[in-house]
Amino acid sequence: MPGPGPAPQAPAARGTGTLPDSRAARALQRVTETVLGPYQSAVVRIGFAGTWLVFLLFELPNRHRLYGPEGPFSWDMGRQMVAGSDAFTGLLWSQSAWWFEAVYGVAVLSSLLLLLGWRTRAASALFLFGVLSLQNRTILVGDGGDNVVHLMAIYLVFTRCARVWSLDARRAARRAPGRPAGDAAGPLLWALVGTGLLAGTLLNRTDTFVIALLWTLWVVQGLWWLVSRYAQGSQPFVLLDSLANLVHNTALVVIMAEVCLIYATAGWYKIQGSRWQDGTALYYPLKLEYFTPWPGLSDLLAASGLMVMVLTYATVFVQVAFPFTLFNRKVKNVLLVAMIVEHAGIALILGLPFFSLAMIAADAVFLPTVFLVWLGAATVRTRDRVIRRTPWAKRLRAADGGPPRTLVG
């Protein structure tokens, strides 16, 4: 007669600290092993880098009056303002004209590199340097759009925003699996940035937090390259990769919370204003010369009291309601389209294109992944169709022995 089997064990208690909760373990594993929102972070990167790049190029003839020696604040006044606010700006490291041109050039170049996604980690740090240096030099020149660019430049440093739609992603896809990067551009760029950072540290007389942040990024990037080069797949590599994913996902959540905070505070402050309560707030900027690039269109809109009231109340409703719609995907997408259309209207009617571009770029963090994937595929198809129809592409195909042909469709 067989003996009795082993005594049944009581199920382990959940959440007591002896065994990890399965849901919490899965959530932690996903946060540390997965880059969440790769398309959303990429479109935010492209949006803000493109917005700042277009702004810098547009204001290129006026750069000396905005941020340079001909600006509204003299050198001494700028030093006093920066000392009072403990802000960071590299433009106050030297009074020479060539230094101003160099900083402005770095801002333009880093915006272009971040837009293309080339050496994105270094480009994002240089982008942060350029944004802070220019905006903090003359703090009263900007508007709400500059404030958003200012914040997002800080957050983008912590994201892995080049996993898709970037030259870095294309280079990684072309590299054989498991093969470390063997190009010399990365170490050379790292050495150049380190040399410039050392010089900036010696010259810096402003905020030391940003300098410390840049040094931390520089050291971490060098450590990441060494581990990726000589210890890929090892425990240090897995640890650094998990930490990078965790930092990226945290930064992405902060970006989303920042956008919700911007709309919530703007909407609730509008509710407290009497002009927003009676539905006439939009009428007044339509009568200001500074906000009327198209006087005829502004007069036509201001002449309709019903239209002014509807747009005024709709603006408040969308801004107040948007943070609460994140729990319903369909409603969120509808209000997201409404906000993008609203900012497009602000750019056209009130003449604030850079503010609108910055806010649309911030709104893009909530765009559905399915839509972004479709948009990326449609962009690639359009690009290929345009390239194949160019004369040089026809001549190249003819030289290869194939008849020149166009893509119809």
pLDDT in tens, 260-276: 999 999 999 999 989 99
Label residue 179 by pLDDT band (50, 70, 90): low
pTM of the model: 0.87
CA–CA gap between residue 153 and residue 113 (Å, rounded): 14
Q: What is the pLDDT of residue 404?
A: 44
What interhelical angle do 329-349 and 295-302 show, nearest 10? 120
- pLDDT at 333 (0 to 100): 93
Using alpha carbons, select from 366, 372, 374 the residue that is nearest to residue 322: 366
Q: What number is the average pLDDT over the span 306-316?
A: 94
Is 110 exposed, middle or buried, given 0-12, 13-18 or 19+ CB atoms closer than 10 A?
buried
Token output for 282: 């939009």
The secondary structure of 276-306 as a DSSP string is HHTT-GGGTGGG-GGG-SSHHHHHHHHT-HH
* Interval 2-17 mean pLDDT: 47
Kindly indicate the confidence band of residue 200, based on its pLDDT and cuts at 50, 70 and 90.
confident
Q: Where are the domains of the chain?
A: 35-170+204-261
| pLDDT, average across residues 323-351 | 92
Is residue 33 very low, low, confident or very high in pLDDT (cuts 50, 70, 90)?
confident
Q: State yes or no: pLDDT of 6 exceeds 70.
A: no
Q: ∠ at Cα 362 (322, 166), nearest 5°? A: 140
